[in-house]
């Protein structure tokens, strides 16, 4: 017997031999086929875990749920959020972090206006307060917070500011703006 594999074909002086595949190549082939069979059984037959389509549907449902809760700000929505202790607590935390440096820890006013008295520079209705927090008043030095905080946290801050209305902090800044009309 010769140590060369049997000659299979010759064309243009090129010899083609019938060689066996290398073992490493066969190992990869069989490993891939076994993995594919296991994957198919796990995700498509037994449905032990959700596949890509199942994960997509779960994420789409979560986005739809969040979009449904992200209603536009209205007086009714903001007043309802003002009654929710969790939202108000979250709004207070955001207020202490971002707003207290100008409005004071209790909203009594430092550089910014007093938020505890009945006087409002841009309106004291819930939607007007929300608009000022979200869009800011650049000419007065109030930054727009909606891009930084997001819509839900702006609503939470607005709900917290609504709880400050009428508390008249003892060391509050003098009134600015017009008195709120009932």
CATH of residue 120's domain is: 1.10.760.10
By the 8 A CB rule, do 136 and 108 touch? no
The segment with the largest mean pLDDT, out of 27-41, 70-84, 110-124, is: 27-41
Categorize the per-residue pLDDT at 25 as very low, low, confident or very high, splitting at 50, 70 and 90.
very high
53 and 114 in one domain?
no
Q: How many independent structural domains does the chain possess?
A: 2
Letter string b/e over residues 85-114, b meaning 16 or more CB atoms within 10 A of that residue's CB? eebbebbbebbeebbbeebbebbbbeebbb
Given a cut of 50, whether residue 59 has pLDDT beyond it is yes
Question: 44 in a domain, yes or no?
Answer: yes
83 and 54 in one domain?
no
By the 8 A CB rule, do 69 and 153 touch? no
Work out the angle at residue 150's Cα, subtended by the Cα atoms of residues 146 and 152, and round it to the nearest 5 degrees.
Answer: 110
Question: 93 in a domain, yes or no?
Answer: yes
Question: 155 in a domain, yes or no?
Answer: yes
Structure tokens at 12: 């243009």
Strand partners, 17: 7
User: Residue 130's domain spans which residues?
Assistant: 72-179
79 and 63 in one domain?
no
pTM, full prediction: 0.62
């Amino acid at each position: 017997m010769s140590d060369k594999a049997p000659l299979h074909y010759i064309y243009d002086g090129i010899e083609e031999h019938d060689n066996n595949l290398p073992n490493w190549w066969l190992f990869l082939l069989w490993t891939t086929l076994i993995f594919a069979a296991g994957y198919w059984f796990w995700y498509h037959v037994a449905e032990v875990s959700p596949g890509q389509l199942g994960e997509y549907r779960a994420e789409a449902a979560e986005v739809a749920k969040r979009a449904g809760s992200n209603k536009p700000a209205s007086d009714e929505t903001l007043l309802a959020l003002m009654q929710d202790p969790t939202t108000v607590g979250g709004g207070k935390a955001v207020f202490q972090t971002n707003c207290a440096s100008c409005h004071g820890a209790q909203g009594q006013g430092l550089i910014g206006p007093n938020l505890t008295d009945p006087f409002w520079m841009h309106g004291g209705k819930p939607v007007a307060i929300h608009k000022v927090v979200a869009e800011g008043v650049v000419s007065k030095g109030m930054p727009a917070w909606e891009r930084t905080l997001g819509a839900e946290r702006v609503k939470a801050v607005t709900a917290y500011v609504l709880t400050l209305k009428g508390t008249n902090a003892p060391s509050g800044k003098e009134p600015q703006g017009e008195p709120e009309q009932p």
